[in-house]
Chain A
Amino acid sequence: MNEPHYLQPLLPTPFHSRTQAACCTALWSGWAGYQSARCYTHVEFEYFAARNQATLFDLSPMIKYRIAGSDSLPYLNRLMTRDVGKLAVGRVAYTVWCNDVGKVLDDGTLFRLDDNEYLLCAQDRHLPWLQDSAIGFDLEVEDVSERFAALALQGPTSYAIVQRMGFDDLMSLRPFGWRRVKYRGAELIVSRTGFSGDLGYEIWSAPDQAESLWDDLMAAGADFGLMPMGSDALELLRIEAGYLLPNADFMPADHATRASRGRSPFELGLGWLVDFNKGHFVGRRALQAERAGSGRYTFVGLDIDGNKPAHESLIYHRRRELIGHVTSAMWSPTCKRNIAIAELQAGREAMLDDLWVEIYLKKELKWEKLMVRCRVVPRPFFDPPRRLATPPAAY
């Protein structure tokens, strides 16, 4: 590419020749500087493929950092709210990390590749933060985003497909585990992880194997209903799975202009990721104080009457007092419920039995306002037993 970079601000991923050929819709979006298909054929069919068959999603734009060196573990334990010491080689952990005042900077998955080597996958870029925090530790942090081409293979038949690919040894792979598998004379990493809340795998390869990997997976998946899936359908899956998305459900603390916009893990309902039984970590003091009862917000799942999604709706107690807002909403075709993830003011437990959402609805160009009853329900909204079953079922 000799053209100046500014003529192509969004780069193709290593799968581009394949994703472009598969995309019938001309619907693309930018994701971390790359072209990412929003939808290949039809959102509905891609969504259902993920809940009934399997889908392939190009995950390559995900930001990835490699952390290696003898101090990796103490360093990560200082950075992350979780106890990284509990993470064994071969395992993956979902984690968040905070700033000094205990507000979440990002969430991501941490792979323990070896005794002293980790891979951190994140939504946002954090190199200066990660490097500056490493002062005094014996280790190296590097951005390895371009070294991997990655695919998410998700859905009930995903195990049948990896079997058909000849990836042995995955039968005993439990959720949040990873293995190296042989592939065309090289090695891939396959992890039982994903953003769909269903059975599924993420496959990490070298970029020069991307195209053959795509082709081989699509061929292996032909008898199992495999379809490429874009980010629009993924958004539906992740809401049903009850996962939060930075910049949608909460502001990463370092992006917020208003200090009040930062959220602690407790306020996001992620308190289970905070471990005070380990040594010092960034944000610890603030979080300890907060645990004593100063949290301002809480995240909940909502089940809303009717079938009109409550996008960006405000939430009222007894139709009058504003006590929160919806951050993500959808009609769930699998649960057959009108669901939402919402932020409520903390300390309002007594009000939860009389909650209402305000939905604005355009019916043939005429706006209508609905006040609709809703109830707090547990997340995930959809949690099929096959997600955790080991060995996984064929569908």
Chain B
Amino acid sequence: MPARGLIRARVAEISPPLIRQQFPLMLSYDAIIIGAGHNGLVTACYLARAGLRVVVLEGNPYIGGATVSRELYPGFTYSNCSYVCSLFRPEIFRTLDLPRYGLQVIPYEGSVTMTRDGGYFASFVDHDANRREISRFSKRDAENYDRFSHEMSRQCRFIKKFLLTTPPDPTSFKWRDLKDLASLGAAFYDLGETQMYDTIRFYTMSCADLLDQYFESDVIKGVIAGSSIIGTALGPYSPGTAYVMLHHYMGEVDGTIGAWGYARGGMGSIATALANALQAHGGEVRVNAEVNDVIVKDGRVCGVALKDGEELHAATVASNLDVKRTFLNIMDERDLPAEFVRRVQRFKIRGSSGKLNIALDGMPSFPQIPENCPARRGDMHITDSMERIERAYDDWKSGTWSKDPYVDMLIPSQIDPTLAPPGQHMMSVFVQYAPPRLASGDWTDADRDAFGSTVVDAIGAYSPDFKDRIRHMEVRTPRELEAEIGLTEGNIFQGELTLDQLMFNRPVPGYAQYRSPVEGMYLCGSSTHPGGGVMGAPGANAAREILRDLGRKDGQL
């Protein structure tokens, strides 16, 4: 990977004694970003563009956080965590000119679900093909699908305006907050009377209640409901899951709302492109630089201390870590108001997902799906009703992984030639549900392997040659997600996406504007508005607030 080389070169340039002599005790920057997740890198890019001296400190030997691609088996590139792209804000893509730094996002066509009766249900980009496919299950649902899509489009249009804005604080009565609240109100009013009611219900209702309004076929509902529980410790019948579904719809690829794509070279190429852009603007990334402490003096941040004792100083520090890790692990609670600490402790961040990354020596067969069905190149599923998803969630509640798991599996190497040797394939399997702790106690290696086997068996039931084709497999439970990338409890969104933790309540009321009780200390990761996913919006919004506090207009979005 070219960027890795660049990063090393940069580190080598920066750390020799020459610079140490100028700053005998420590290096000094305008801003330090803790964590090279994609959001930390986005923040760093905007700050560097504005002329600040920026360094990003990453604990792992590689960058990207949950937006990472690594070769764990020769010739195969896994996207170890996130695997598909849609949410990444096009404005950021363009302002930072990421294509120039090697980023390319390639859309794929739809999804296909294998049903228990030996059939399949696929979705297509072509409207008529899609309608005829749904009508194989229900003529009524086929026509209602358009109404459902319009509803989702209206909700997307409404929310889109707020993704790259800082949530207004409804209690501050500052001019800026009042103005932003007014524009929120205006956009809401613009929805029209019926839609206003629907929108309020939308943010609190369950996915099942929403889908029951539109569809009668269990298969159709089961397929659509999948995106309402991804990364979420809730079932499709739990209130709040309708919003989670919207969260997965509101992205786009080249203006096609709801479309998903692959980042060429794996999701890690997003982080690589950001790091290259950062370096082009004079910023630095340091890997193997785990931050142990945020140094605060007189209520003001003044730098960080690394695990090996090295100190770096800056009057601005932004943390890409989730809200719990930031305030409870690397900060001293005594530097923070007690009520704030309590709220952070109560922040919901339950893990619910696992991931398998698999190297295959050939394309596994799926006899239920026609050979020429283009949806094979997109998401493949084996769950054909909401009921089954809810049962899978029941296992989570009992402190075990789902025995009939919901999987979102893709074989991106069918489209992306860079991921595996010709004719061989890389498979990514996202799994719902896996609890952060088991009823029997903490996860063990044996539990992890048993979890992996459960998933492989579930897929094997639909693909006779799948198991024989496996050459290597990486299995990740919430334990690995927490240990390797620092996602508390393995929650993929750095905190659950429920209304009590969205907008001006994310992460905690009163601190939704990327600031913290400590002056100069900011949050820029997915724990902040508008939340998780490879979106870049939290990072960009945080950069804007930081620049505003520094009195800089440049570098704004």
Contacts and interface: CB of A to CB of B under 8 A. Distances in A.
B94 A225 contact: no
Contact of A52 (B94, B99, B416, B423): B416
A379 interface: no
B422 A44 contact: no
B107 A307 contact: no
Given A52-B416, A336-B93, A42 B99 contact: no
Contacts of B94: 336-337
A365 B392 CA distance: 46
A331 B94 CA distance: 12
Contacts of B98: 336
A44 B107 contact: yes
Given A45-B107, A45-B109, A53 B415 contact: yes
Contacts of A34: none
**Is chain A's interface secondary structure helix, strand, loop, or mixed overall?**
loop
Contacts of B414: 225
A382 B102 CA distance: 12
A297 interface: no
Contacts of A307: 90, 255
A157 interface: yes
A334 interface: yes
Interface string A30-50: 000000000001101100100
A223 interface: yes
Interface string A253-284: 00000000000000000000000000000000
Interface string A366-395: 000000000000000010000000000011
Contacts of A394: 417
Given A335-B99, A336-B93, A51 B255 contact: no
B125 A395 contact: no
A224 interface: yes
A160 interface: yes
Interface in B457-509: none
A156 interface: yes
B417 A48 contact: no
A224 B422 contact: yes
Contacts of A331: 254-255
Contacts of A45: 107, 109, 125, 374
Contacts of B423: 223
B417 A156 contact: yes
A333 interface: yes
A52 B377 CA distance: 14
A52 B264 contact: yes
B288 to A, nearest CB: 30
Contacts of A42: 109, 125-126
Interface in A158-188: 160
B106 interface: yes
A51 to B, nearest CB: 7
A334 B422 contact: no
A242 to B, nearest CB: 15
B418 interface: yes
Interface in B423-462: 423
Nearest to B255: A307
Which one of A42, A333, A337, A394 has the highest number of Cβ atoms from chain B below 10 Å of its Cβ? A333
A224 B424 CA distance: 11
Contact of A336 (B99, B106, B109): B99
Contacts of B107: 44-45, 48
Interface residues of B, number: 24
A395 B90 CA distance: 26
Contacts of B125: 42, 44-45
A45 B414 CA distance: 13
A54 to B, nearest CB: 9
A358 B253 CA distance: 25
A257 to B, nearest CB: 38
B175 to A, nearest CB: 28
A25 to B, nearest CB: 9
B104 interface: yes
Nearest to A338: B94
A41 B372 CA distance: 12
Contacts of B90: 307, 336
Interface in B96-143: 98-99, 104, 106-107, 109, 125-126
Contact of B104 (A44, A52, A157, A224): A52
Interface centre among A52, A156, A331 (most CB of B within 10 A): A52
A395 B418 contact: yes
Contacts of B374: 41, 45
A393 to B, nearest CB: 10
A52 B417 contact: yes
Interface string B348-367: 00000000000000000000
A160 B422 contact: yes
Most buried by B among A51, A160, A336, A337: A336
A27 to B, nearest CB: 12
Interface in B250-268: 253-256, 264
Nearest to B363: A223
A51 B104 contact: yes
A48 B99 contact: no
B422 A223 contact: yes
Given A41-B374, A335-B99, A336-B94, A52 B254 contact: no
Give the residue among A44, A45, A48, A382 with the most B Cβ atoms within 10 A. A48
Nearest to A53: B417
Nearest to B98: A336
Interface in B330-359: none
Contacts of A157: 417
Given A45-B109, A331-B254, A336-B90, A395 B99 contact: no
A395 B75 CA distance: 14
B417 A225 contact: yes
Contact of A333 (B126, B254, B416, B417): B254
A358 to B, nearest CB: 21
Contacts of B99: 334-337, 382
Interface in B226-258: 253-256
A299 to B, nearest CB: 23
Interface string A335-365: 1110000000000000000000000000000
Nearest to A307: B255
B258 to A, nearest CB: 14
B417 A395 contact: yes
Residue from A53, A225, A331, A335 with most neighbouring chain B CB atoms (10 Å): A225
A224 B423 CA distance: 8
A51 B418 CA distance: 13
Interface string B73-104: 00000000000000000100110001100001
Given A48-B106, A307-B255, 12 more contacts: A42-B125, A44-B125, A44-B254, A51-B106, A52-B106, A52-B415, A225-B414, A307-B90, A334-B104, A337-B99, A394-B417, A395-B418
Shortest beta-carbon contacts, A-B, top 6: A395-B417, A223-B422, A333-B254, A223-B423, A48-B106, A336-B93
Interface of A: 41-42, 44-45, 48, 51-53, 156-157, 160, 223-225, 307, 331, 333-337, 382, 394-395
23 contacts: A41-B374, A44-B107, A51-B104, A52-B104, A52-B415, A52-B416, A53-B415, A53-B417, A156-B417, A160-B422, A223-B423, A224-B422, A225-B414, A225-B415, A225-B417, A307-B255, A331-B255, A334-B104, A335-B99, A336-B94, A382-B99, A394-B417, A395-B417
